[in-house]
Chains A and B, each alone.
Chain A
């Protein structure tokens, strides 16, 4: 899809202008509280966290996006959460800003009617178009995301993992998640290291390392969706000292309990972290997104010994769930675990060569 014509360039400048931080900030400031709402907790390191499940709906204005994110944050704050976790591809609703996108979307939907994706893909032309659109919108989306979540985090005095966004950097498109602190500061970001097969076909660029961020509520990591398919991600995060993994997902398939179990749940069992999953659900252009936002922990730290602290009860609608994470209990479990072991001689014998083979 060619998006470099004169009209497209003009419209992009218009979008950037509409998404300008001063405009969004002024809009948000009208409805934000004047003081911190969530009190700091003392004593044992217990953190109340919220996993958000957002339902896809196209938004025509960046101010609507800011309002929608504000509404979600308020839901978390109302439940006394000090950390809120948003989903992957959280900018998809902003496709509604593109003139005529609703019609295009309807066309895709009709084309796909009767054959929901079930993990299958649209044609490569459509996929490439989507990448071009993400790149096209990137200069408008990034400042909008930044000012929105910075303002919301500061106003409520909480940490926000703002979800992930396809954004253009150095000529490539990355799927990047962001973490904001209670001072409104951007604490850090994480590029998705393991791409979904479609993303690889779209030529998204992948990250090459994992970061963790030391905060007042624990050491946080921000792997993105497919990163939780691979044990390596959480093992590295654990080695780096992470205590809570904040995982945005946008799972492009019909919901199935077992398929959904394959991500963050086994990873927190293997590597002894808490995991908080924000999910995007709904349909867009005939594609079905499903999931269940939730909060997960090693079996020993969950009341039913099932690895689940809280999980929303819908895979297709907006929802929220909260739970308390006990970081001291996590450390105690790590130090006195009933079966954990390591074998560096084995890893060194096999991994260097095996990982590098084609």
Chain B
């Protein structure tokens, strides 16, 4: 299967129509069956199209989005539902902030080729900034079926918490989609410490979308990538494809037979020693 990681770089975001046309053009060209948009995509498109007025800082804009403009989510999700259907692909639509019972979550919706949501994934670990503006942690990491694969999603800074990948890996995830956003000032190593490291210790594929561009004064810039276990990637680098922060998308073909053969020979997760791990969690009574 062909998979695609996007950055939103070089897309015309000035109107929904132009965005839709350029994104579908990009996806058509890539021939992908599964595409992933980065974190903060709803906010970026909202600000760029004028649906969310930009404030003096990213933080303030984010807060305004939460306080006054969450209705934009409906428009945003409907748009991506249509794109998934039109392109006949699975589409992880970046992130929105959603409110449920007075709690706010940073969430990815993934749509199937029928345009139906096949997974909703909330960010489970939050940064000090995200906590300060009142976001809550998700408490589930489910998978969805995309035969023959099982697919999970990792949201934003969850990539830097290895517990997330391990939970997905132990549930049998074959592919993990990552909607990420890293500040431009960080070098590539922060990103390597995230999804690349998660892939290597769980032996799944990862499709890593990263936000690129200016969002209300905050510059984001990390590279999109399709990642696999080192042994089955060119140069044993762990990268099937890796772009630059200004790259609009990267697409790669997954060789699932090779991955399964690797796991058969080198079953990393079978060599876990859970008897030694009781300190990592509290047993639910």
Decide if B57 is an interface residue (CB 8 Å cutoff).
Answer: no
The answer to whether A256 touches B127 (Cβ under 8 A) is: no
Could you tell me if B281 and A344 are in contact, using CB atoms closer than 8 angstroms? yes
Per the 8 Å Cβ criterion, residues 249-285 of B in contact with A are 266-268, 271-277, 279-284
B193 & A210 in contact (Cβ 8 Å cutoff): no
Which residues 145-184 of B sit at the A interface, judged by CB distance below 8 A? 157, 160-163, 166-167, 170-171
The one of B163, B192, B276, B283 in contact with A193, judged by C-beta atoms closer than 8 angstroms, is B276
User: Quick check: B230 and A259 within 8 Å, CB to CB?
Assistant: yes
Which residues of chain B come closer than 8 Å to A351, judged between CB atoms?
A: 163, 167, 277, 280-281
Contact partners of A349 in chain B: CB under 8 A: 139-140, 284
The yes or no answer to B14 lying at the interface (CB within 8 A) is: no
CB–CB A270/B160 < 8 A: yes
Cα–Cα, bound, A339→B131 (Å)? 10
Are A236 and B163 in contact (CB-based, < 8 A)?
Answer: no
In this assembly, does A307 line the interface, its C-beta being within 8 Å of a C-beta of chain B?
A: yes
Complex contacts, B266 vs chain A, CB 8 Å: 197
| Residue B197 is within 8 A (CB to CB) of chain A in the complex | yes
**Which of B15-23, B210-218, B233-241 is near enough to bind chain A?**
B233-241
**Nearest chain-B residue to A344 (Cβ)?**
B282
Contacts of A229 in B (CB 8 A): 201, 268
B272 & A232 in contact (Cβ 8 Å cutoff): yes
CA distance A208 to B189 in the complex (A): 32
Return chain B residues, CB-CB under 8 Å to A261: 192
Contacts of B238 in A (CB 8 A): 258
Task: State whether the Cβ of B75 lies closer than 8 Å to any Cβ in chain A.
Answer: no
- Complex formed: what's the CA distance from A299 to B182 in Å? 15
What's the Cα separation between A297 and B280 when bound, in Å? 22
Q: Are A341 and B139 in contact (CB under 8 A)?
A: no
Please judge, given known A-B contacts A258-B237, A345-B139, A347-B281, whether A339 and B127 are in contact too, CB under 8 Å.
yes
Describe B's contact surface by its main secondary structure: helix
Choose among B127, B189, B197, B281 the residue that contacts A305 (Cβ–Cβ < 8 A).
Answer: B189
Are A343 and B139 interface neighbours, CB within 8 A? yes
- Within the complex, the shortest CB–CB distance from A208 to chain B, in Å, comes to 5
| A194 to B275 alpha-carbon distance, docked (Å) | 11
Q: Check A307 against B189 for contact (C-beta < 8 Å).
A: yes
Q: What chain A residues lie within 8 Å of B196 (beta carbons)?
A: 266
Q: Which residues of A contact B277 (CB under 8 A)?
A: 232, 236, 351, 355
| Closest-CB distance, B128 to chain A (whole angstroms) | 7
- How far apart sit A357 and B167, CA to CA, in the bound complex (Å)? 12
Contacts of A236 in B (CB 8 A): 276-277, 279-280
Give the docked Cα–Cα distance between A152 and B238 (Å): 42
Across the interface, do B167 and A346 meet the contact criterion of CB distance under 8 Å? yes
Q: Is there an interface contact between B193 and A338, defined as CB atoms closer than 8 Å?
A: no
Over the window 194-238 of chain B, the binary record of Cβ atoms lying under 8 Å from chain A Cβ atoms (1 yes, 0 no) is 001100110000000000000000000000000000100001111
B193 contact set on A, CB distance < 8 A: 266, 269-270, 299, 307
**Minimum CB distance partner of A236 in chain B:** B279
Q: B137: CB under 8 A from chain A?
A: yes
Given contacts A231-B166, A352-B284, contact A346 B272 (CB under 8 A): no
Q: Within the assembled complex, what's the spacing in Å between the Cα atoms of A356 and B196? A: 26
Tell me whether B121 is interfacial, beta carbon within 8 Å: no
Determine if B201 and A341 form an interchain contact, defined as CB atoms under 8 angstroms apart. Answer: no
A-B contacts, 14 of them at CB < 8 A, read A194-B272, A207-B276, A231-B201, A232-B276, A256-B230, A270-B160, A306-B189, A341-B125, A341-B126, A341-B127, A341-B161, A343-B139, A346-B167, A350-B167
8 more CB-based (< 8 A) A-B contacts, given A266-B193, A344-B282, A357-B170: A195-B271, A208-B273, A232-B277, A236-B277, A259-B230, A346-B141, A347-B163, A350-B141
Contact surface of A with B, Cβ cutoff 8 Å: 193-195, 197, 200, 206-210, 226, 229-232, 235-236, 239-240, 256, 258-259, 261-262, 266, 269-270, 299, 305-307, 338-352, 354-357
Q: Name B residues whose Cβ lies closer than 8 Å to a Cβ of A.
A: 124-128, 131, 137-141, 157, 160-163, 166-167, 170-171, 186-187, 189-190, 192-193, 196-197, 200-201, 230, 235-238, 266-268, 271-277, 279-284
5 closest A-B pairs by beta carbon, nearest first, are A355-B274, A266-B197, A231-B162, A347-B281, A269-B193
